[in-house]
Chain A
Amino acid sequence: MTEIVRTTTVVIADDHPTVRAGVRADLGDPLRVVAEAGDAAEAIAAIEQHRPNLVVCDLRMPEGGGLRVVKEVASRFAEEVKVVMFTVSEDEADLLEAVASGAFGYLTKDTPGPELRRRLLLAAEGEPPFSPKLAALLLGEFRRVARKETGRNPLSEREREVLQQVARGCTYKQVGAQLFISEKTVENHVRNILGKLHLSRRAELIRWAADHGI
């Protein structure tokens, strides 16, 4: 049986041409860059036009930043287009906001070229690229949510373990080996964790809106 390698289309959104050129050079077949964008508005236009499989998106950009791109994509092309944040950002609040708004994954700009390529290929297959730093931020975030609300952790025991392992820098494979579950299960847990963050943030917003009579 011949395996047909599906081409994955990618839009790169970053206000620095050097970064865009760097990412473009890292990708290569079967990741095909269909457009580059220098700000949020351009990125949204390019996504509308090309409907790419993946968007590699910086957080700090003119015209509303990566956050605007994520929100726009989440509301209009939710299942179709996956946005992966690619950033040097130190601003943890923005980062959580991006993921809570529906970013599919998050990678730091010091990710080596081959690793970036590998992570994006996996992302196209449905595995959220997830840096240890983000996992650690999520641990804190969920604990905060739990403390503020029911006093119950919104994460299951397993999910918390998975998050802890990823935060320590384990790959999904290593996490699976440690917890005696398959890599695929780890991946599912990660997706659920992201979904829960998305939901808890949304619940918070709805409550806030209700409290303020909006």
Chain B
Amino acid sequence: MERSVLVGAAWLRWVVVAFAIAVTLGNRHRIEHSGVAFALLAAMAIWALVAHRLAAGDGWRQALRREAVATELALVLALVVADGFVLQSRATGQHLAGAIPIAVLLVAGAALGPWWAAGVGFTLGLARLAAATIAGVPEGRQGRELLASLSASVVWIVVGAVTGGTCRLLRRAQDDLAEARARERVAADLHDTVLQALAVVERRTTDPEVAKVARSAERDLRLYLFGDDRDPGTLPAALRAAAVAVEERWGDLLVSVTVTPDAEAGPHTTRAVAAAVGEALTNAAKHGSARSAVVLADLDDATNGLLVTVRDDGTGFDPALVPAGHGLTGSVHGRARDAGGMAEVVTALGDGCEIRVCIPHPANLR
């Protein structure tokens, strides 16, 4: 991406240098110091060649170094300042360095980011103002000249900032993509080897400590490979994350999470439901001493809403003995209400516990 900016700047440089040389040639009789002008333009042409070869070659990253940007900036500054005194008459309205700064602004944007590139634009604007002052603008034209300098400065600052900002955004997108690809590759490799091995260890071992370590490693890896930061905030990811968090805290509990493709929810509902599931699972592990729990999120056929159930194999409890608003009833009901739904607890002593969270209407699934 930076490379295409460099190559683009290189071609742009050729065009504007050729244009500037043509203009200078055409106006050579009106120019006071045509020697200086041609010397500067020649230097610029040499730089254009060097920069182009750099951008096209294998070592193109060199062109993004501060030294390269500084060299070009120095050249362009010299041209802009020279502009003020080499052109004898400003009546032509032509400028030696009119479009030349654009190339250095593009490169600065790609190499240094939006703020520095805007700074480069600002510096060039100052130079242009200085050039106008050196040249001594004729009486009565000062206002116009000031305006011209100002508008040029603004354009340069904006070009620098926008190029820098766009490059930064593109680079981030590129990095994300590269990371996602790398992860996909790793996932494909690890899925068949390490995950299988961990699953076997977990299943085969008789030592609960070993099983716990293997399980937590498997969950970590699974979360990293397939988990929520690849697809943040979806219902399956949020529920899985809630399950993993509880599993890690209470090593004896194994949670299986399933979300049917019909189960949908927006971020607000997802957050509330995941929190409710987390509470339910914590309760199952802490008070019910459950060893396994199943979380199912599905379309609720009756209301066309979302139905999430958490079922555990723990000791269960007698609902009559828990006062309303305490424990499960308090925490899970509260979360469900946040999402415009309600919760129901089905349990009996010695028979596990099932918690149903129902968010009734599609309109509530935001």
Q: Which residues, 194 to 239 on B, are CB-close (under 8 Å) to A? A: 195-197, 199-200, 202-204, 226
- Residues 5-40 of A, flagged 1 when their CB comes within 8 A of B and 0 if not, give 000000000011011001001100000000000000
Interchain CA distance A123-B358 in the complex, whole Å: 35
Question: Does A110 count as interface, using CB distance less than 8 angstroms?
Answer: yes
Q: Which of B254, B311, B354 has the most CB of A within 10 A?
A: B311
Q: Which residues, 261 to 295 on B, are CB-close (under 8 Å) to A? A: 261-262, 292-294
- The reply to whether A133 and B195 contact each other, CB–CB distance below 8 Å, is no
Question: Does B149 count as interface, using CB distance less than 8 angstroms?
Answer: no
- The reply to whether B298 and A133 contact each other, CB–CB distance below 8 Å, is no
Surface stretch bound by B, among A45-53, A72-80, A135-143: A135-143
Q: Which of B193, B203, B258, B296 contacts A109 (CB 8 A)?
A: B203
Total contacting residues, chain B, CB less than 8 A: 29
Interchain CA distance A133-B255 in the complex, whole Å: 11
Interchain CA distance A189-B192 in the complex, whole Å: 34
- The reply to whether B256 and A169 contact each other, CB–CB distance below 8 Å, is yes
Question: Does B260 count as interface, using CB distance less than 8 angstroms?
Answer: yes
Q: Which of A90, A140, A169, A170 contacts B261 (CB 8 A)?
A: A140
- The total of Cβ contacts below 8 Å across the A-B interface reads 82
Kindly list chain B residues whose C-beta atoms are within 8 Å of the C-beta of A167.
258, 294, 296, 298
Kindly list chain A residues whose C-beta atoms are within 8 Å of the C-beta of B262.
140, 143-144
Q: Which residues, 45 to 80 on B, are CB-close (under 8 Å) to A? A: none
Interchain CA distance A108-B195 in the complex, whole Å: 12
Q: Which residues, 306 to 347 on B, are CB-close (under 8 Å) to A? A: 309, 311, 313
Question: Does A176 count as interface, using CB distance less than 8 angstroms?
Answer: no
- Chain B residues close to A by CB (< 8 Å): 191-193, 195-197, 199-200, 202-204, 226, 254, 256, 258-262, 292-294, 296, 298-299, 309, 311, 313, 354
- Chain A residues close to B by CB (< 8 Å): 15-16, 18-19, 22, 25-26, 60, 88, 90, 108-113, 116, 131-133, 136-137, 139-140, 143-144, 164, 167-170
